[in-house]
Amino acid sequence: GQQLNQSPQSMFIQEGEDVSMNCTSSSIFNTWLWYKQDPGEGPVLLIALYKAGELTSNGRLTAQFGITRKDSFLNISASIPSDVGIYFCAGQLPGANSKLTFGKGITLSVRP
């Protein structure tokens, strides 16, 4: 099936640093969403993007919907310890009738 590519699998940063994560696909997506998941919990929606080129912020988070509609990035500025978790990108394919396709996630560690 369709896949979203997230790499690297893990990222390690120092508290206060900025971090950027990419999500790419060989297919065009209509919608991109970014979720954060803590161990043993469900994913929590961070940001949703609906138009190519759209740049959206939510506090220290900024995400962009790539102009080609095949990629998106998420930026976290001034990281804090509670940013630790797994970050997933998810997309909706044209005509997919609302189901989401997820990447494998990036595990973020923040050193105090």
Partner 1 sequence: DTGVSQDPRHKITKRGQNVTFRCDPISEHNRLYWYRQTLGQGPEFLTYFQNEAQLEKSRLLSNRFSAERPKGSFSTLEIQRTEQGDSAMYLCASSFLLTLYNEQFFGPGTRLTVL
The contact set with partner 1 (CB under 8 A) reads 4, 31, 33, 35, 40-45, 48, 50, 88, 90, 92, 97-105
Residue 69 token pair: 């509609």
Cα within 13 Å of Cα(31), Cβ side: 15
Identify which of residues 73 and 88 has a Cβ nearer to partner 1 in the complex. Answer: 88
Least distance to partner 1, CB of residue 102, Å: 3
Residue partners of 38: CB distance under 8 A and separation at least 6 = 44, 85, 86
Identify which of residues 19 and 33 has a Cβ nearer to partner 1 in the complex. Answer: 33
Residue partners of 55: CB distance under 8 A and separation at least 6 = 62, 63, 64, 65
Least distance to partner 1, CB of residue 105, Å: 6
φ, ψ for residue 90, nearest 5 deg: -145, 145
Least distance to partner 1, CB of residue 2, Å: 11
Identify which of residues 75 and 92 has a Cβ nearer to partner 1 in the complex. Answer: 92
Identify which of residues 43 and 85 has a Cβ nearer to partner 1 in the complex. Answer: 43
Residue 3 token pair: 């896949």
